[in-house]
Structure 1
């Protein structure tokens, strides 16, 4: 038995985003209702750990939210009291060239935002956190869970990160071993590319029918003059600065009378090793239509995160002995509307119901927790994902062919023209073309356009300042490069070190030895905004992102 430096609870939730918080609230409600009349009470303790300094500090989304599941989670709360900024009042779609913007006459299928609300994921997380604590959930921000604990082959909890460790990995005078939290049930709610979920899925071979694929979303929050962009106005764009071979788009949301959120989402199955999501956002802001909105404004916040886009066929098995996976960690996101918050909440509620039934039976086996998957297959969320099950795979070879596939999927109920009914998709890291074979690399194509005036456009380091990101710089590097020789001898010559481009925070820098002319990789982990693009897009799987000390990282507020 594990005894030293440990605490015990019934349920451990790893991650304080909307999925984990929805789970905690719904389970607390189910237990409370049961205990009101039942002879045998269920005294269940629920404990949640969040690696951010506070709830919401690592939450980033668009966000235009379908309110249906939030209303189901909180049935006694009126819509006006939910954590929304404003209802969507105008819903517009544009096709951009570098200079023009052509308005589409109607919303593309599955992308209408009628009845939705503009807000931020962080605002929802803070709101749900207050409710969870009132219901008795123990919420601990500032704690990073670095590994799952096993006993006799079964998960029995998770261990927090050791602190007071030097860069070389040696204990210092202030060393403190990470607390072990022992639990009968563990909920993995870490968000996109969750570290524990990734390893757990690999260890137990829980992968979906397709690999998960991602976009990197890069976002800024701006203050603009009143009247520049009205609250509730929602714009989505296709085209510039993306090529026809690259799936991606942009957005602008009116948050309040004087704040707008804008950003781009860039699919990570691109082939050009020099594509740079941060640079793409700066180019996007220079478009005449966008620049006019931001004129006389100022940047407030910056952030980035990855978005799991694979859809239904990329979902892993959602359960195993003593463990369930929820929200972005599992890949609950509906394309093409990039809607994930309502599905995260629904997955939290469905897993909470399965957990409640498991506690009633005192059975946390895989056979019992399969109830979670059964409930999901009967849910509106499953229907939502099923009808667009092949959407993202259809765009794997560019926008033109993707539009054709999407059209066939619409008329065939999502099947498309694939004989099996399931389109294949490849891992993002496998999609690169050698740099020498790229005819017009992104960094050369837009070299003259990528100047940073620090009024409209910003370099990566300046934007990192606006993310609020900070780390204890004495700790071991949490961006692990396993083999620097592979970087020097293979990756740099073949691909030109794509890490220097795909990282939106300038963590990876290529340096040249003035004597030998040899190139090497130098890391700046303190810049990291925890998007985890490096863990996904490195062509050799040579980079592994791990959690740093609890409380480190960005401070996103209302991103």
Structure 2
């Protein structure tokens, strides 16, 4: 059996998304002689990135003011915002777009393309990116994280070594920054082991699916952003759809759902059969498909995101503004702030949680805290249905995010499960899409492969 190799670095970043790349990039800005490794499970940077996406450039503008001049790929600047309420056969546009959903000054991007480009900038800046290596377990000495062991390669489906077996590499680091994205495996190990969520609300997750379509260019009118609510969801369900016009005739269309019986893919396919959505996609060709989870718990669901030997950033920690449907700018900013805290800790030769609490101080005194504080109770307001949630949201917007009280507690999702008969008043719903036509609607296997 091959001997396990090891590698020593100053800082290990796990995850090559916006947060992790921002941390690596800013660390090299702060100190050029730091050895920094970025571990990415995809075969290349961007391979596992799934997002709409509409990017607020605030975080990136601070990190790399000349990102446009360096070739940062943009699909379209946002030129139009629309919020629609759908019934089964009709649409009703809101006369005024709610302020959180106004995207003037933002950009429609392919986050896959954008992170690939950003990864190139990180490598040019001197950090090392190891693509195709997944973190399998944390290396822990006592109560301090000292790095990550990557997954073994060359094993069969039962976990037994094959002839080409290669054991994972132990990457030892003075500081480990977890930027795995939502529900990262190492982050879950860490939070559970050190009980980092003991004072936070349970995190709330949404599941979303997305497709990219090639449509006739005359139907792709510039930087148009559409968000929908209503059909095919019931009034008591939280979620909705989105349609973003990208470049070269591409349209990004997606849906987020909380129905306990019908999976997100099925409802998404039903969403596409709405006459308005159909009119946008009809005659087009499906280009790509993806699905992901989204952390929507907000400020009160953030765990303790610093620990002995490291920090948690971006979606991995839950830095997402659910009201604005945005987290990329928060990923960039928390990556920068974690880099600052890591730099100060390395300079002081102290990587304890007490020292790395500096990251929390930086977050609390930044616009990240100000933005999340204004929406701190947003998702909890929808626990009793869509219309109750809209009323609560209005109160929160009028009271700086407070609503009827400063902190809304919520229960873990599994404790609120009900029988289907009770949930649907004895009438289980029919399947969302009884048949897939292979032109507009697709079964899951076709979409994935």
CA shift for structure 1 position 276: 1.3
- Residue by residue over 1:427-478, the C-alpha shift from the partner in whole angstroms, topping out at 9 and shown as x without a partner, is 2333321133343689x5343743100000000110111xxxxxxxxxxxxx
Where does residue 200 of structure 2 map in the other structure? 209
Q: 420, 429, 443: which is aligned to 1:459?
A: 443
- Name the CA shift for 1:84/1:76 in 2 (closer, same or farther; >3 Å): same
Offset from partner CA, 1:18-40 (integer Å, 9 cap, x none) = 100000000100113xxxxxxxx
Match of residue 137, structure 2, among 136, 141, 147: 147
Displacement of 1:195 in angstroms is 0.6
**What's the counterpart of residue 235 of structure 1?**
226
Match of 1:383 among 366, 370, 375: 370
Q: Among 255, 259, 263, which residue is 2:246 paired with?
A: 255
Alignment of 1:260-299 (within 5 A): 260-267=251-258, 270=259, 273-299=260-286
Which runs of no fewer than 5 residues in structure 1 stay unpaired?
33-42, 466-559
Distance 1:160 1:376 in 2: 30
Deviation, 1:4, is 4.7
**Partner in structure 2 of residue 9 of structure 1:** 9
Which of 74, 93, 99 is residue 84 of structure 1 equivalent to? 74
User: Which residue number in structure 1 is paired with residue 23 of structure 2?
Assistant: 23
Q: Distance in 2 between matches of 1:131 and 1:168?
A: 39
* Equivalent position of 1:408 in the other structure: 395
Written as runs of structure 1 = structure 2, the 5 A alignment for 1:104-503 is 104-207=94-197, 208-267=199-258, 270=259, 273-418=260-405, 421-439=406-424, 445-447=429-431, 449-465=433-449
CA RMSD between the two structures: 1.6
- Taking the aligned partners of 2:367 and 2:420, their CA distance within structure 1 comes to 44
SS at structure 2 position matched to 1:92: strand
Asked if the contact 1:7/1:182 (under 8 Å) is kept, the reply is yes
The Cα of 1:79 is off from its aligned counterpart by: 6.5
Larger mean Cα displacement after TM superposition, 128-137 or 432-441: 432-441
TM-fit CA distance, 1:228:
1.1
Hey, what's the Cα distance between the residues in 1 that align with 2:175 and 2:57? 29
Flag the 1:255–1:440 CA change in 2: closer, same or farther, 3 A.
farther
SS of aligned partner of 1:306: strand
Distance 1:403 1:220 in 2: 28
TM-score computed with the length of structure 2 as normaliser: 0.96
- TM-score of the superposed pair, with normalisation by structure 1: 0.78
> Aligned equivalents of 1:103 and 1:235: distance in 2?
10
Residue 65 of structure 2 corresponds to: 75
Secondary structure of the residue aligned to 2:218 is coil
CA contact (8 A) 1:14 1:188 kept: yes
Kept in 2, the 8 Å contact 1:222–1:259? The answer is: yes
Q: What runs of 5+ residues in structure 2 fail to find an aligned partner?
A: none
- Contact 2:262 2:431 (C-alpha < 8 Å) held by counterparts: no
Contact 1:155–1:323 (CA under 8 A) maintained in structure 2: yes
Instruction: Output the CA distance in 2 between the equivalents of 1:365 and 1:25.
Output: 23
The alpha-carbon deviation at position 164 of structure 1 amounts to: 1.9
Distance, in Å, in 2 between the alignment partners of 1:78 and 1:145 is 32
Cα deviations by residue, 1:176-212 (Å, 9 ceiling, x for unpaired):
1111111110000000001100110111111152011
Pairs aligned (count): 446
Give the secondary structure class of the aligned counterpart of 2:43: coil
CA contact (8 A) 2:137 2:148 kept: yes
Change (3 A) 1:168 1:416: same
- State how far apart, in whole Å, the 1-side matches of 2:204 and 2:11 are: 30
Cα distance in 2 between the residues matched to 1:199 and 1:275 = 30
The alignment status of 1:98 with 2:88, answered yes or no, reads yes
| Displacement over 6 Å in runs of 4+ | none
Cα deviations by residue, 1:363-399 (Å, 9 ceiling, x for unpaired): 1111110110000001111100000100011011210
